[in-house]
Chain A
Amino acid sequence: MSQLTEEQTAPPKRVHRQRSATQWAVAWRRFKRNKSGVAGLAIVIAFVVFAIFGPLFAPYPPRSTESLLQGQAGQPPSWKHPFGTEINGIDVFSDSIWGARNDLWIGVAATAIATLIGLAVGALAGYSRGVIGGILLGIIQFFFVIPTLLLILLFSRVFQVLVYQGFGVNLIVLILGLFGWPGISFVIRGEIFRVRELEFIQAEKALGAGNLRILFRHIVPNVLTPVIVLASLLVAGNILTEVVLFFLGFGPANVATWGELIEEGVQYVSVYPWVALFPGLLVVTLVLGFNLLGDGLADALNPRLRE
């Protein structure tokens, strides 16, 4: 009898999570209240604008050693060269602008590839039981065991030396994409396991709803939340990997990225410290932006964590 009164006197509880337009609006309102998340979004948007329109105002083309001929190599920051120049006369400010474009491209495109693969593998692993599910889980686990970062370095190097050198940054995009998916697929697999056991989905099944309907009406919206968050954090991770990769000398030659500038700067850090300093600060700012954005999204999109 007390169960009846519970239903009648207590405010209605939310039984399941089903996203509708209003819920996205609610999430957006919650996100807007989160100052650090909004700051992250602002940083990301600023960098995207910078990457799209910045090159129109860049004083020099990418990797241009023009200033070397004018005797301007290794100059400290000045009005003419706001971030200084490096040993070959490359204007650090110009290349930082071109680098923003390349770094964002690497971060976002590699994440897109990883997310697509991750979604496909994760959904397959989540839906198939038995042998196929077991094998896919094994493959995911395998990627957690091997030293991914080292293999990214190795693949980049081997490919450039033995196969083809002309892919430029897209080689890095491809390799990062191919190594970046296991984390996403693992989470998606878990989320699908969780969601398909929820009562309302069982009920819909019992009512004869087709698998596709269930997939698109319930699974996809539920899985989307962690994917958005993970993708945002993965962009940050990919940019950091790009920087290390170039710093260690595994990047393709002759492309303007922040990592490439830092690599050049590090070699002469005792004489031209600005060359490594400014692009490094840009890396920290953009990565911070994506991390803050990811954290903010996680708070806003996850009702389970709501206070």
Chain B
Amino acid sequence: MGSLINYIIRRVLFMIPVFIGVTLFTFLIGNAAGNPINLIRLAFKGTLPQNVYLQLVAYYHIGENPLIRYLYYLWDLIHFDLGLSITSQRPVASEIGPWVWTTLYLQLSALALALLIGIPIAIYSARHQHSKSDTTITGIAIFGYSTPTFWLGIIFIYIFSFYLRVLPSSGAVSAITPWWGNWTLDRIAHLILPMTVLTYVQLATIIRLLRGNLLEVLKQDYILAAMASGLKERAVIYGHALRNAITPIITIIGLSLGASLAGAPGLETAFSWPGLGYEFTQAALALDIPTVLGITVIISVMVLVANLATDLVYGFLDPRVRVS
């Protein structure tokens, strides 16, 4: 038990320098032209509204030396003050909340679905290695991670929205009349296409990794030993093989979850899905520096937290990790 607590403390302490690194990095980008205002003025030439300009000058503490400005920046970050969006002229922090949620529910529902489908398929594939169905499964999987998600999304939109007209093509929710007559169903209708594309891609990754690990694990003596002590095959597969094969994948899923918070700007843009990736893209095209840096910091922190959670779950699942 003591070793587990020790392990947690070590992981949390390790986050601090990385967090400082991230904030230093975004601070440096913001100050690439001397200070953030110079950068913003370069991008917006004469079109920056006076009131926004004044608020930003105050927010960035222009006139202080860079170290003091960095400390102010840290202080503001800790208080969840990310400055003012130039395009919407609203606080970045209050805008980001819904975006995070929109991205998360797309990503998490796809991940859950991919795990639900992927685990049994991977088990089947590993247990029938080199069979026709195994070859088909691995073939379909390798297509999954060779295909640009947004491109697949466009094909889906073309087929289901433009051609068959059965599902909406853009957004997370309808503007005026709900799809399928009800606002909950409307959200589901909007979710189906992007979620299907994302599920397919994540499914590909899960099947590929889990199948590979299972093939290794199934060769281990403890699997034979469990069989030899008279356990049911199901109990051996799910209790021993799957548990051993999936534990290292937890790390990869955790890391990719972090990446997927940001990693789907293409897909989100294809579906005009108002999540972090889509909004970052819009802000970056407009050179809305406060929004861009705000999203970067928020995603980095969320990735840090996701990594920590992953490490903890891993430490909990695999007793060997706690030692080193």
Contacts and interface: CB of A to CB of B under 8 A. Distances in A.
B296 A150 contact: yes
A142 B285 contact: no
B50 interface: no
Given A247-B266, A266-B154, A146 B142 contact: no
Given A142-B22, A146-B25, A244 B146 contact: no
Interface residues of B, number: 50
Contacts of B281: 153, 248
Contact of B287 (A142, A161, A266, A295): A161
B43 to A, nearest CB: 7
Nearest to A142: B21
Contacts of B299: 146-147, 150
B148 A154 contact: no
Contacts of B295: 147, 150
A285 to B, nearest CB: 8
Nearest to B39: A162
B143 interface: yes
A161 B262 contact: no
Nearest to A244: B266
Interface stretch (A48-56, A118-126, A223-231, A268-276): A268-276
Contact of B261 (A36, A147, A269, A305): A147
Nearest to B14: A141
B154 A157 contact: no
Interface stretch (A5-13, A107-115, A200-208, A286-294): A286-294
Given A145-B303, A157-B284, A266 B142 contact: no
Nearest to A141: B18
A150 B262 contact: yes
B148 A269 contact: no
Nearest to A287: B146
B17 A154 contact: no
Given A144-B255, A248-B281, A269 B158 contact: yes
A77 interface: no
A247 B25 contact: no
Q: Looking at chain B's contact residues, is the secondary structure mostly helix, strand, loop, or mixed?
A: helix
Interface string A137-156: 01101101111111101100
B290 interface: no
B157 interface: yes
Contacts of A288: 142-143, 146
B44 to A, nearest CB: 11
A97 interface: no
A236 interface: yes
B33 interface: yes
A149 B147 contact: no
Contacts of A250: 284-285
B151 A280 contact: yes
Q: Looking at chain A's contact residues, is the secondary structure mostly helix, strand, loop, or mixed?
A: helix
Contacts of B265: 149-150, 153, 244, 248
A116 interface: no
A295 B277 CA distance: 30
A194 to B, nearest CB: 14
B70 interface: no
B148 A145 contact: no
A280 B303 contact: no
A284 interface: yes
B141 to A, nearest CB: 10
Contact of A153 (B22, B259, B280): B280
B282 to A, nearest CB: 10
B185 interface: no
A158 B283 CA distance: 12
Interface string A237-252: 0001001100111100
Given A36-B142, A240-B148, 9 more contacts: A145-B300, A145-B303, A146-B22, A146-B25, A244-B148, A247-B150, A269-B157, A269-B158, A287-B146
Enumerate the 3 nearest inter-chain pairs by beta-carbon distance, A residue then B residue, closest first. A147-B262, A288-B146, A244-B266
Interface of A: 36, 138-139, 141-142, 144-151, 153-154, 157-158, 161-162, 236, 240, 243-244, 247-250, 262, 266, 269-270, 273, 276-277, 280, 283-284, 287-288, 291-292, 295, 305
